Structure 1
Amino acid sequence: SYITKSLKTISDKINETSLNQKNEKIVIEANSKEINSLINAYNQMVDKLEDSATMLAQSEREQAWREMAKQVAHEIKNPLTPMRLTVQSFQRKFDANDPELKQKLNDYSKTLIQQIDTMSAVASAFSNFASMPAQQNETLNVVQVVELALDIFNEDFIVFESNEEEIISKLDRTQLIRIITNLVKNAIQSIPDEQEEKQILVSVNEMDDTVIISVKDNGIGIETENIDHVFEPKFTTKTSGMGLGLGIIKNIIENYKGTITFETQLGKGSTFIVSLPIVK
């Protein structure tokens, strides 16, 4: 036992060692020169592992931003083609004596304005993701704010429920509304237009000094291969948009030391669950 005690300590530490965590060094002095050499070798490995983890994290961040830059460039290029075609068509067909000139000019202008608005939305989405505004916390009733946030959708199939009349916490009202509107908008978009029975249930409840907000839909669900990518900044299954929404609200929630998780079943729908600590 005296001889193997140090070896047991080293063995336990090696089993606990992981690239995804902060690993502790072994701080014991053994009576055996060989065992001390083994301890030193392990401690050197821990240092190298920490350096590797730092380099990996940096590499992943750089890769994420490279992918983001590609996505932004792609989204901005999309409106440029119809804008160019519109201008070329107007230039080619321009006739100062055309009796419908004013109407055609209005049509061309609307097309250009729509595409400019699209580009502006892309720029705004990227800007919002890159720099979140400072939190302006105020004491508010979370139940009331969430219920009011649902009014803008004006859809009969969106149902709100809560077991509490009041859940008071210090939060940024704008950011809380942003979380709700983003989750509900995603839920609406996950339900096919042709689906007859649409249902979205938004609930707010209190549990162990935590406010739990859930948004449940009966949409198409999330494909298995997409589950691990839902909160990635560049991820989207939509035909348009940058897919920044869930990445942004995940940042907001984590700034409050909260969590966002989801459950999904293909063909039956998804439920997103937000947990935020209650701050008095």
Structure 2
Amino acid sequence: SAREMLALPGKNIIGKSYKDILSLSKYGEISKSIELGIQKKYRLSDKEININSGAQDTALALSLSPLRQSNNKFSGLIVVLDNLTQLIKAQKIAAWKEVAQRVAHEIKNPLTPIQLSAERIIKHLKKKKGKPDEIIDDGANTIVQEARTIKALVDEFSNFARMPKVHMQSTDIHEIIEQAVSLFKGLFKDIEFDVLYSLSVPSPIQTDPEQMKRVFINILDNAIHAMNKKGEIKIQTSFEKKEQRVKIEIADSGHGISLKDKGKLFLPHFSTKKKG
């Protein structure tokens, strides 16, 4: 509903003037558009408006249609709001996929001949009598090794562009969390982990263990660096019986995320780190 889309306070809004309902500054553009629509009695189609509701930005499409009586006299406006947030997010992800595909393609083109040429040099050196030139041999081996590393990176880009297939398996989600946490325990002496597993969480559950493990590792790694490798990370699980879903909450003692960045959290490769 419009109340939910606009995060309007209170429930008793029926019968009230739009000026009273949309009195906050964040609704200013909507209120102004409605006022102009009433004054000029015009039609408006899909005007995009962004509203910051605190936690995230909401993208809306505003449409106005004049209401007229049988004598063609203007009697009001029909105001229609559509939530475009998910659509715009999907478009951004699609754009990133296209970028990833192009980058992968452009890197792969020169990478294969570079690797093959280095391998030919190594093969040629092995055939030569006597001790091969150590600098050339080391250099060629380094080229081959780094080319393979770049190729693996390109494959990651390609995986993102295709979106990796999900391999659902019967999994103990607590075990997956424990595996991720164990990678960091002891590695950072000033990081404390406070983990609380709920006995209500069913085991096993159907999920992709590898992708879930990657998610936890990335979140924990980001949390540790956000706290400058010093602080506390809390992990808590619970089971919401009504929705039949497992809830996993992860919090750190860092400075948190600014309001302007919260809406960007699920954009591919978004980061506030200087090095990305």
- If the length of structure 1 is used for normalisation, what is the TM-score? 0.50
Q: What displacement does 1:110 show? A: 4.0
C-alpha contact (below 8 Å) 1:67/1:234 kept by paired residues: no
Q: Aligned pair 1:150/2:181, yes or no?
A: yes
Unaligned runs of 5+ in 1: 1-5, 244-280
Unaligned runs of 5+ in 2: 1-14, 23-29, 35-46, 50-58
Secondary structure at the aligned position of 2:194 is classed as strand
Q: Aligned pair 1:212/2:248, yes or no?
A: yes
C-alpha contact (below 8 Å) 1:229/1:235 kept by paired residues: yes
The equivalent residue for 2:7 is none
The equivalent residue for 2:72 is 33
C-alpha contact (below 8 Å) 2:104/2:157 kept by paired residues: no
The equivalent residue for 2:201 is 168
Secondary structure at the aligned position of 1:160 is classed as strand
Q: What displacement does 1:26 show? A: 7.6
The equivalent residue for 1:268 is none
Q: Which amino acid aligns with 1:152?
A: L
The equivalent residue for 1:186 is 222
Partners of 1:129 and 1:217 in 2: CA distance: 34
Percent of paired sites with the same residue: 14
Higher share of residues assigned strand: 2
Describe how 1:58-137 pairs up with structure 2 within 5 A: 60=92, 63-69=95-101, 72=104, 76=107, 80=111, 83=114, 87=118, 96-97=128-129, 99-101=131-133, 104-105=136-137, 108-128=140-160, 130-134=162-166, 136=168
Question: Cα RMSD between the aligned structures?
Answer: 5.6
The equivalent residue for 1:232 is 267
Q: Which amino acid aligns with 2:177?
A: V
Secondary structure at the aligned position of 1:206 is classed as strand
Summarize deviations over 1:138-189 as a string: whole Å, max 9, x none: 3x55334311332234534354323445342434151332221121233445
Q: What displacement does 1:201 show? A: 1.7
Q: Which amino acid aligns with 1:184?
A: L
C-alpha contact (below 8 Å) 2:196/2:236 kept by paired residues: yes
Higher share of residues assigned helix: 1
Q: Which amino acid aligns with 1:33?
A: N
